[in-house]
Amino acid sequence: MDPRPRWYRVGWALPWLLFQYFPVADLVTTDRPLAVRVVAGAGLVVFTAVYLDVFRRAFDGCWSGPLLGRLAVVAVLGAGLAAWLGPSWAGLLIYVSAASAAALPTRWTWPAVFAATAVCAGVLLLDGGTGLLVLPVLCLLTAFALRGTRHLVSVNAELAEAREELARNAVAEERLRFARDLHDLLGHSLSLIALKSELAGRLAEVDPARARAEMADVEAAARRALAEVRDAVSGYRQVSCAQALAEARSALSGAGIAVRLPARVPPLPGPVDAALGWVVREATTNVLRHSGARAVTVTLTDDGTEAVLTVTDDGRGPTDDTAPGSGLTGLAERVGALGGVLTGGAGRAGGYELRAVLPLAPVPAAVVTR
Q: Report the chain's mean pLDDT, rounded to a whole number.
A: 80
Arch. (CATH architecture) of 239-370: 2-Layer Sandwich (3.30)
Look at residue 239 and tell me whether its pLDDT is greater than 90: no
Contacts of 332-335 spanning 24+ positions with Cβ under 8 A: 333/180, 334/180, 334/275, 334/278, 335/275, 335/279
pLDDT, residue 16, reads 66
Residue 283 CB burial class (10 angstroms; 0-12, 13-18, ≥19): buried
pLDDT tens track for 43-98: 999 998 888 888 777 755 545 567 788 888 989 999 999 889 888 888 888 889 88
For the chain, the structural domain boundaries read 6-163, 239-370
**Least confidently predicted of 51-60, 246-255, 299-308:** 51-60
Label residue 366 by pLDDT band (50, 70, 90).
Answer: very low
Residue 114 CB burial class (10 angstroms; 0-12, 13-18, ≥19): middle
**Least confidently predicted of 65-69, 166-170, 227-231, 308-312:** 227-231
As a whole number of angstroms, the distance between CA 183 and CA 153 comes to 45
CA distances from 233 to 181, 182, 192, 228, 300 (A): 10, 9, 21, 9, 30
pLDDT, residue 3, reads 46
Look at residue 357 and tell me whether its pLDDT is greater than 90: yes
As a whole number of angstroms, the distance between CA 53 and CA 103 comes to 11
Q: Region 110-138: what's the mean pLDDT?
A: 84
Look at residue 41 and tell me whether its pLDDT is greater than 70: yes
**Least confidently predicted of 34-48, 156-170, 310-324:** 310-324
pLDDT, residue 114, reads 92
- Burial pattern 333-353, b for ≥16 Cβ within 10 A else e, equals ebbbebbbebebeebeeebbb
Q: Which residue has the higher pLDDT, 16 or 23?
A: 23
Look at residue 129 and tell me whether its pLDDT is greater than 90: no
pLDDT, residue 187, reads 73
pLDDT, residue 13, reads 59
What is 141-161 written as a DSSP string?
A: HHHHHHHHHHHHHHHHHHHHH
Q: Region 172-191: what's the mean pLDDT?
A: 73
Q: Region 149-165: what's the mean pLDDT?
A: 79
Look at residue 324 and tell me whether its pLDDT is greater than 60: no
* Whether 261 contacts 298, CB under 8 Å: yes
At residue 17's C-alpha, the angle toward residues 14 and 23, to 5°, is 165
Q: Region 152-163: what's the mean pLDDT?
A: 79
Percent of the chain with pLDDT over 70: 84
Label residue 358 by pLDDT band (50, 70, 90).
Answer: very high
Look at residue 174 and tell me whether its pLDDT is greater than 70: no
pLDDT, residue 10, reads 57
As a whole number of angstroms, the distance between CA 106 and CA 127 comes to 32
* Whether 148 contacts 109, CB under 8 Å: no
Look at residue 283 and tell me whether its pLDDT is greater than 80: yes
pLDDT, residue 297, reads 92
Label residue 248 by pLDDT band (50, 70, 90).
Answer: confident
